[in-house]
Amino acid sequence: MSDGDFAMALPAALRAVEAEDADGDGVPNVEELLRGTWPADPVSVPKAPRDCASGSNPVYDVCRYDPRFAYRRVLLDFCGKSPTYAELQAFTARTEEGQREFLSVELDRCTEGEFWRGKDGQLWKLAHPKIRPVGSIKSGEDAGPIPLADYYDDYALYAYTQLDGHDAREVMTARYHVRRQTEPTRYTATPSLPSQFVEEARRAGNLTSRWSLISFVMFTALPRNAASQSYRAYLGLDIAMQEGLYSIPGEPRDYDAKGVQAPACAACHATLDPLSYPFRNYNGIAGLSSARYETGRIERYFAAEAPTITQIPETGYLLGQPVRDLQEWAQVGANSDAFAIAAVTDYWKLLVGHAPTAEEQTEFVAVWQRFKGTHGYSVQRMLHDLIRTEAYGAP
């Protein structure tokens, strides 16, 4: 079936089987879908509601948000330590309103510390799957044996955009770089760094860092890996998992003759290839031109690889929307719901301990929508919101 025919037929197909129990676990398919379990897996079964009764736990209110429980979590998650007995006693002595206000004070205090913002701290851990460090080819501080690029610059930019009320979208859109100061750790925006080569007008945050271009573009003509990694890292959409597919009519064109028009490949490449075109002039490893933007890059280095390879355009598509270049690609992505959802999901998984469940969806959606709206993409404001959810503060 074509993508359009499949999309048209899917609602009726789901309605036809929603009352059935495909895996025989005693729960109808529609209930499993609505509650976030798999209707084809008998081991995946919705949990029964918690059996709560007032006064059944002498320490915490296990039925609803408990500020004392949230206080322990805040100190552990943001400061890296448990509260002392004296601190717990002082917290308990506050009014309920005073307890909630103090949670905000402690969150702000802890996010100034090394556990949260320092090298290998909580923010750096969140950045690991986005940056994908490889120590053997690192340059600069802690350099490896083949020093090609310094990914500490990428961690610095990521951390800067997540802190102090800054705009988190700039991890994708920044045309500046960031210096990291130690003891204590602080991050400062700067127009340039000697370790970064892309001219200001062609920058797109960490998408165009020297590390990203060296490690994700490398020697390729059409940087599909760079595009798919950016899509996955910052928009939370993994094409290999059939996520975020927006098939573009007439695609894939297979300019580099990789066989991507084969039926087994075309479904994904109709999204991936147009996603990759705006990366076409960014060098990975190319001698003295490494990690730079170079007009005519493909014509210079790859013209002999395929008959139509030089016809690869710089215009492309992101989330089904046409984009002129990588700067517009980054802007469209950073302003999308996908970016806000992915960013809040990162923190939800770090702080709550798992991806949002079906029961937590109402709170989760409210948090990411406020992150995009009233919080102005400030992670700090969003965190104050997140620690007040029942998902975080109910034992």
Say yes or no: 330 and 359 in one domain.
no
The answer on pLDDT for 130 being more than 70 is yes
The confidence score (pLDDT) of residue 37 equals 81
157: number of CA atoms within 13 Å, CB side?
A: 30
Closest CA to 340 of 209, 167, 81: 167
The answer on pLDDT for 156 being more than 80 is yes
The confidence score (pLDDT) of residue 193 equals 97
CA 242/CA 269 separation, integer angstroms:
11
The confidence score (pLDDT) of residue 171 equals 98
pLDDT (average), residues 148-156? 98
Neighbours of 371 (CB within 10 A): 25
Say yes or no: 305 and 372 in one domain.
no
Structural domains counted in the chain: 3
The confidence score (pLDDT) of residue 3 equals 66
Report long-range pairs for 296-301 (Cβ below 8 Å, ≥24 apart): 298/221, 301/221
In a domain, 70, yes or no: no
Amino acid 177 reads H
Closest CA to 23 of 37, 9, 6, 11: 37
In a domain, 96, yes or no: no
pLDDT (average), residues 132-144? 97
Q: Identify the residue whose tokens are 């717990």.
A: 88
In a domain, 57, yes or no: no
Encode the chain in three state secondary structure: CCHHHHHHHHHHHHHHHCCCCCCCCCCCHHHHHHHCCCCCCCCCCCCCCCCCCCCCCCCCCCCCCCHHHHHHHHHHHHHCCCCCHHHHHHHHCCCHHHHHHHHHHHHHHHCCCHHHHCCCCHHHHHHHHHHCCCHHHECCCCCCCCCCECCHHHHHHHHHHHCCCCECCHHHHCCCEEEEECCCCEEEEECCCCCCCCCHHHCECECCCHHHHHHHHCCCCCCHHHHHHHHHHHHCCCHHHCCCCCCCCCCCCCCCCCCCCCHHHHHHHHHHHHHHHHHCCECCCCHHHCCCECCCHHHHHCCCCCCCHHHCCCCEEECCEEECCHHHHHHHHHCCHHHHHHHHHHHHHHHCCCCCCHHHHHHHHHHHHHHHCCCCCEHHHHHHHHCCCHHHHCC
Say yes or no: 350 and 326 in one domain.
no
Identify the domain containing residue 23 by its residue range. Answer: 1-48
The answer on pLDDT for 146 being more than 80 is yes
Residue 32 pLDDT grade (very low, low, confident, very high; cuts 50, 70, 90): confident
The confidence score (pLDDT) of residue 63 equals 78
In a domain, 65, yes or no: no
Say yes or no: 323 and 374 in one domain.
no
The confidence score (pLDDT) of residue 288 equals 82
Is the distance from CB of 35 to CB of 362 less than 8 angstroms? no
- The two beta strands, 316-318 and 321-323, are antiparallel
Beta bridge partners of 149: 138
pLDDT digits (tens, 9 = 90+) for 35-57: 778 898 888 887 665 556 655 56
In a domain, 205, yes or no: yes
The confidence score (pLDDT) of residue 89 equals 95
- The two beta strands, 186-190 and 177-181, are antiparallel
Which of the residue ranges 37-46, 114-123, 242-251, 342-351 would you say has the lowest mean pLDDT? 37-46
CA 186/CA 178 separation, integer angstroms:
10
Point out the domain boundary residue: 13, 29, 48: 48
Point out the domain boundary residue: 334, 368, 385: 334
pLDDT digits (tens, 9 = 90+) for 79-97: 999 999 999 999 999 999 9
Say yes or no: 147 and 2 in one domain.
no
The confidence score (pLDDT) of residue 50 equals 54
Say yes or no: 307 and 381 in one domain.
no
**For the chain, what is the mean pLDDT?**
94
The confidence score (pLDDT) of residue 38 equals 81
Which of the residue ranges 12-21, 224-233, 363-372 would you say has the lowest mean pLDDT? 12-21
pLDDT digits (tens, 9 = 90+) for 253-295: 999 999 999 999 999 999 999 999 999 999 999 988 999 999 9
pLDDT (average), residues 362-366? 97
Say yes or no: 358 and 274 in one domain.
no
pLDDT (average), residues 62-89? 95
Point out the domain boundary residue: 285, 307, 334: 334
State the Rg of the chain over Cα: 24
Burial class of residue 380 (count of CB atoms within 10 Å of its CB; 0-12, 13-18, 19+):
middle
Say yes or no: 129 and 228 in one domain.
yes
| Structure tokens that stand for 383 in this block | 């965190």
Say yes or no: 132 and 29 in one domain.
no
The answer on pLDDT for 187 being more than 70 is yes
For residue 327, the Cα-to-chain-centroid distance in whole angstroms is 18
Say yes or no: 174 and 258 in one domain.
yes
In a domain, 117, yes or no: no
Closest CA to 254 of 315, 305, 328: 305
Say yes or no: 271 and 165 in one domain.
yes
The confidence score (pLDDT) of residue 291 equals 97
Query: What percent of the chain clears pLDDT 90, i.e. is strictly above it?
Result: 84
The answer on pLDDT for 119 being more than 70 is yes
pLDDT (average), residues 204-233? 98
Say yes or no: 5 and 134 in one domain.
no
pLDDT (average), residues 199-203? 98
Is the distance from CB of 80 to CB of 125 less than 8 angstroms? no
In a domain, 55, yes or no: no
In a domain, 226, yes or no: yes
